[in-house]
Homo-oligomer: A and B are copies of this chain.
């Protein structure tokens, strides 16, 4: 194996081990030493790939949320109109919930810690602001196209859609079998679209 391939493999071992440990014990309670032990790599190897546990988490978060964002953007571009694009995005949540459910409480734990550190805070919440911008842009387009009422406020409505997504992820992560969360999400997006139309 080349050095580059070995490096990529080590990096992946660290990412996999940290995901397992974060899911099991949470972000705060997981140490770099434990990650190294689980991944069977040295601390030197860890710090060669990641300057800190925070940097590792930002990396995990970025690849996790970029996947969702990519799927959402594709839905936005392939739908024939804006309400349909939102319905398509809601219909995807079945797969997304499985991926996001376990990760969401860990993301919240990380945010809680990062909110006290201005240096990493902007990077920590960057995906949140990108989703807000994506939603607000789509709503603005829907208003321009006449699909939504002209009194619809894009920024405020984007925050409400984001609230539905976050609030349902939160309930699903604490009560996975309490409801058919995919159906509830579709119906929530539907209610809000109906509200924006009227």
Contact = CB atoms under 8 A, between A and B. Distances in A.
B187 A156 contact: yes
A115 to B, nearest CB: 6
Interface string A34-68: 00000000000000000000000000000000000
Given A28-B28, A195-B192, A195-B194, A163 B168 contact: yes
Interface string A150-191: 000101110110111111101100110001000110011011
Interface residues of A, number: 42
A136 to B, nearest CB: 12
**DSSP class of A's interface residues: helix, strand, loop or mixed?**
helix
B164 A160 contact: yes
Interface in A1-41: 26, 28-29
Interface stretch (A70-78, A93-101, A106-114): A106-114
Given A153-B187, A192-B195, 10 more contacts: A105-B112, A156-B179, A156-B187, A159-B179, A160-B191, A163-B166, A165-B167, A167-B170, A190-B195, A197-B198
17 contacts: A105-B108, A128-B174, A155-B179, A156-B184, A159-B188, A160-B188, A160-B191, A163-B167, A163-B171, A163-B188, A165-B167, A166-B170, A167-B168, A191-B196, A192-B195, A194-B194, A197-B198
